[in-house]
């Protein structure tokens, strides 16, 4: 069975920014999982917000992300599952990523919240 690796915002920003404390680890993860990295529409929305706030070129960033990851589609069930994570203390974007990913797949992130909910995580800090 094929399990997807869903990348969180910090993974993409580490790769795209000129300097980031997670850059080297993000590159290693990318090289190891090239072709298997998936992004959700919610992660893209979060990246767009960060790009606008940080004056990072938006279209260029999205183009780069589109070259290294696959975009997955969405259904209403994801939003209802996300509500359960929100009710248990996760942020909206983290909840949407977990609901979208499902418990059988892996999340690439430096965020500890995903392990709290029992997800398999490729930790960018290692």
pLDDT, tens digit (0-9, with 9 covering 90-100), for 52-70 = 998 988 899 999 999 999 9
Average pLDDT value for the chain: 92
Q: Confidence class of residue 85 from pLDDT cuts 50, 70 and 90?
A: very high
Where do the domains of the chain lie?
5-72+104-123
pLDDT at 1: 59
Question: Considering the domain 5-72+104-123, what is its CATH architecture?
Answer: 3-Layer(aba) Sandwich (3.40)
Report the C-alpha gap between 52 and 122 in whole angstroms. 27
pLDDT band at 45 (very low <50, low <70, confident <90, very high): very high
The C-alpha atoms of residue 60 and residue 75 are separated, in whole angstroms, by: 28
């Amino acid at each position: 069975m094929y399990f997807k690796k869903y990348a969180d915002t910090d993974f993409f920003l580490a790769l795209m920014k000129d300097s980031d404390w997670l850059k080297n680890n993000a590159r290693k993860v990318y090289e190891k999982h090239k072709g298997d990295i998936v992004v959700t529409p919610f992660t893209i929305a979060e990246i767009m917000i960060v790009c606008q706030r940080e004056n990072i070129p938006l279209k260029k960033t999205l183009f780069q992300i589109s070259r290294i990851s696959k975009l997955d589609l969405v259904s209403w069930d994801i939003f209802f599952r996300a509500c359960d994570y929100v009710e248990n203390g996760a942020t909206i974007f983290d909840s949407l990523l977990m609901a979208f990913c499902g418990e059988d797949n892996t999340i690439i992130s430096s965020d500890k919240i995903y392990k709290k909910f029992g997800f398999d995580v490729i930790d960018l800090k290692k």
